[in-house]
Amino acid sequence: GADADTTTELPPDLDALRAQAAGCTRCELHQDTTQTVFGAGPRSARLVMVGEQPGDQEDRQGAPFVGPAGRLLDEALDEAGVARDDAYVTNAVKHFNFRYHGKRRIHETPKAGHIRACRPWLDAELALVRPQVLLTLGATAGKALLGPKFRITAERGEPRPWNDLTLVPTIHPSAILRADPDRGQDRDEMFAGFVADLRRAGELLH
If the CB atoms of residues 69 and 198 are measured against ligand URA, the closer one turns out to be 69
- Output the smallest distance, CB 73 to ligand URA, in A: 8
Distance of CA 189 to CAs 18, 156, 181, 192, Å? 37, 15, 11, 5
In sequence order, the 6+-apart residues with CB closer than 8 A to the CB of 81 are 199, 202
If the CB atoms of residues 20 and 53 are measured against ligand URA, the closer one turns out to be 53
Identify whether the C-beta of residue 132 lies closer than 8 Å to the C-beta of residue 165: yes
- H or E stretch covering 205: none
* Helix boundaries (H) for 81-186: 112-129, 138-146, 152-155, 173-177
- Output the smallest distance, CB 106 to ligand URA, in A: 13
Q: Which residues in 85-124 contact ligand URA (CB under 6 A)?
A: 91
- Output the smallest distance, CB 206 to ligand URA, in A: 27
- Output the smallest distance, CB 4 to ligand URA, in A: 32
Identify whether the C-beta of residue 50 lies closer than 8 Å to the C-beta of residue 99: no
Residue nearest to ligand URA as judged by C-beta position: 51
- H or E stretch covering 161: strand 160-162
* Site map (CB under 6 A) of ligand URA, residues 156-175, x = contact: ------------------x-
Q: Which residues in 24-83 contact ligand URA (CB under 6 A)?
A: 51-55, 58, 64-65, 67, 69-70
Phi-psi region of 67 (alpha: psi -120 to 50; beta: other; left: phi over 0): beta
Burial tier of 45 (Cβ tally within 10 Å: 0-12, 13-18, 19+): buried
If the CB atoms of residues 54 and 131 are measured against ligand URA, the closer one turns out to be 54
If the CB atoms of residues 10 and 178 are measured against ligand URA, the closer one turns out to be 178
If the CB atoms of residues 9 and 123 are measured against ligand URA, the closer one turns out to be 123
If the CB atoms of residues 65 and 88 are measured against ligand URA, the closer one turns out to be 65
Identify whether the C-beta of residue 100 lies closer than 8 Å to the C-beta of residue 133: no
Size of interface with ligand URA, in residues (CB under 6 A): 13
- Output the smallest distance, CB 203 to ligand URA, in A: 24
- For ligand URA, the binding residues (CB under 6 A) are 51-55, 58, 64-65, 67, 69-70, 91, 174
